[in-house]
């Protein structure tokens, strides 16, 4: 019997309802465990803490949106358990499976009849006076941005030990190919095919029009130093975790040794998803 971990979007009635239907539908075909919040809501006894998602599971079922999947992916980094993401309403670049496809995809996954898209992650580390004070692994992006009332900030940037430039901008986005269709795209960055392993560096509203996004090879480390002493600046990871930066702090971002395995839709290609989500070809 297979083991499935189910992660639901927090406080979402549709996610809870679908989770219950999955439990009822599968019956003895698989053992289903729910995240703590969902299990309490449904009064279901088989549960796990989110920190332990994926442990011993054949695959993880995420019911929600891209934000829910991004949150789960950060806890799965060392386990590389396949994730089946079901979109319950938003844009859904990562949660590409529709509710209508769920029954068929569950059947295929239980048989092991599926393909995965291996996605690059980034390790982001903050150093202060040479000491590591914060670290996190992300699937989408690491973003350095100024406070709403702050002025343009100076971001001294190196690729390995080679000086690149000092961006004078509202911020800087360091993105994976997966994250290239998120904040980076909105800031004018390129779209990268998700199976690539490059790092995309995109300035946010740069003061110099010659500052343009750049695609870097996967083996480099990007080192960024904050050179604005009086501005309030924050490092935001996957749009969900924030860490305040101080003058002189160094942020080091490099490709993580871990990957996230996303189960692909049996009926849609990546390019079809791009056309659908970005409305390519429409006037």
Based on the residue annotation, tell me whether 66 is a catalytic residue of this protein: yes
pLDDT confidence band for 229 (50 / 70 / 90): confident
Residue tagged active-site, from 35, 66, 123, 170: 66
- In this predicted structure, the answer to whether residue 5 has a pLDDT above a threshold of 70 is yes
- In this predicted structure, the answer to whether residue 172 has a pLDDT above a threshold of 80 is yes
pLDDT confidence band for 270 (50 / 70 / 90): confident
Statement to judge: residues 24 and 148 lie in one domain:
no
Statement to judge: residues 200 and 270 lie in one domain:
no
Angle at CA 69, nearest 5°, toward 44 and 257? 120
Average pLDDT over residues 178-196: 95
Taking the model in full, what pTM does it have? 0.92
pLDDT of residue 210: 84
Statement to judge: residues 246 and 269 lie in one domain:
no
In a domain, 283, yes or no: no
What are 17-69's pLDDT values in tens digits?
Answer: 999 999 998 888 889 999 999 999 999 999 999 999 999 999 999 999 999 99
Angle at CA 195, nearest 5°, toward 193 and 198? 75
Max CA distance (Å), the chain? 62
Q: How many domains does the chain have?
A: 2
pLDDT confidence band for 1 (50 / 70 / 90): low
Name the residue among 67, 104, 75, 65 with its Cα closest to residue 5: 75
pLDDT of residue 11: 86
What are 63-119's pLDDT values in tens digits?
Answer: 999 999 999 999 998 888 999 999 987 767 888 888 999 999 999 999 989 999 999
Buried b (16+ CB within 10 A) or exposed e, 63-91: bbbbbbbbbbbbbbbebebbbbbbbbeee
pLDDT of residue 54: 94
Collapsing DSSP to helix, strand or coil, 5 comes out as: strand
- The percentage of residues in the chain with a pLDDT greater than 70, rounded to a whole number, is 98
Statement to judge: residues 272 and 240 lie in one domain:
no
Statement to judge: residues 235 and 273 lie in one domain:
no
Statement to judge: residues 71 and 139 lie in one domain:
no
Query: Which structural domain, as residue segments, surrounds residue 66?
Result: 2-115+264-278
């Amino acid at each position: 019997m297979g083991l499935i971990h189910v992660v639901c979007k927090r406080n979402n009635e549709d996610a809870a309802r679908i989770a219950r239907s999955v439990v009822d539908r599968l019956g003895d075909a698989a053992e289903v465990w729910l995240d703590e919040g969902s299990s309490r809501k449904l009064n279901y006894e088989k549960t796990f803490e989110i920190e332990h998602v994926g442990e011993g599971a054949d695959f993880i079922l995420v019911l929600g949106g891209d934000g829910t999947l991004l949150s789960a992916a950060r806890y799965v980094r060392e386990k590389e358990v396949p994730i089946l993401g079901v979109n319950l309403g938003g844009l859904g670049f990562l949660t590409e499976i529709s509710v209508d496809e769920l029954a068929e995809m569950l059947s295929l996954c239980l048989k092991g009849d599926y393909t995965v898209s291996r996605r690059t992650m980034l390790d982001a580390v903050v150093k202060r006076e040479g000491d590591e004070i914060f670290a996190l692994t992300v699937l989408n992006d690491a973003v350095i941005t100024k406070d709403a009332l702050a002025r343009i900030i100076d971001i001294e940037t190196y690729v390995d030990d080679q000086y690149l430039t000092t961006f004078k901008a509202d911020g800087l986005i360091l993105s994976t190919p997966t994250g290239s269709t998120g904040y980076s795209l909105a800031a004018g960055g390129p779209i990268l095919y998700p199976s690539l392993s490059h790092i995309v560096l995109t300035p946010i509203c740069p003061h110099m029009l010659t500052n343009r996004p750049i695609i870097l090879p996967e083996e480099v480390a990007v080192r960024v130093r904050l050179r604005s002493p009086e501005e309030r600046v924050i490092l935001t990871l996957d749009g969900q975790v924030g860490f305040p930066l101080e003058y002189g702090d160094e942020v080091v971002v490099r490709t993580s040794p871990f990957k996230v395995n996303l189960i692909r839709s049996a009926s849609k290609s990546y390019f079809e998803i791009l056309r659908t989500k970005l409305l390519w070809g429409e006037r």
